[in-house]
Amino acid sequence: MILDKAKEFLTLEALWELARFGIVGVAATLIHLSIALYLDSTTSINIFVINTLAFLCAFGMSFFGHYFWTFKSNAPKLKALIKFFSVALSGLMASSVMILMLIWAGLESDMLKLTISILIIPAVTYVVGKFWAFKS
């Protein structure tokens, strides 16, 4: 049974879907990081607020990219938007907890903390997006 599931993920279409997810994710991450870097260098806003604002800016691109291109969803848009927002919001909360843990661990650079948290969350987002948020 596990081997059958593994074969499902090794098809050309599944690998191309994963590549599309990566492309959309990298674009959203670049938006997130760019806005975070801009806000960090031009304001005195707290890193958690910066992370939230940058997340909200990147979310729209992420949703539409995944809905129309990555998963080619036929689920009702509003339903998929609500489900994906809950997935993305959970990811934001997880990244904030991760940032807090990195603070407690003594990591000094806010941008390094943010970058580490942004790079770890996408794997879970892919699985939950594929099997729940964008399912019709």
Segment 68-106, tens digit of pLDDT: 999 999 999 999 999 999 998 888 788 778 888 888 999
| Domain interval for residue 22 | 2-133
Total number of domains in the chain = 1
What gap in Å lies between CA 95 and CA 79, rounded to an integer?
24
Q: Is the pLDDT of residue 7 over 70?
A: no
Is the predicted pLDDT of residue 9 greater than 70, yes or no? no
Whole-number pLDDT of residue 1: 60
Whether pTM exceeds 0.85: no
* Tokens at 20, concatenated: 């599309």
Report pLDDT for 46: 92
pLDDT at 65: 96
Specify the residue for token string 């599931």. Answer: 5
CB 46, CB 105: distance < 8 Å = no
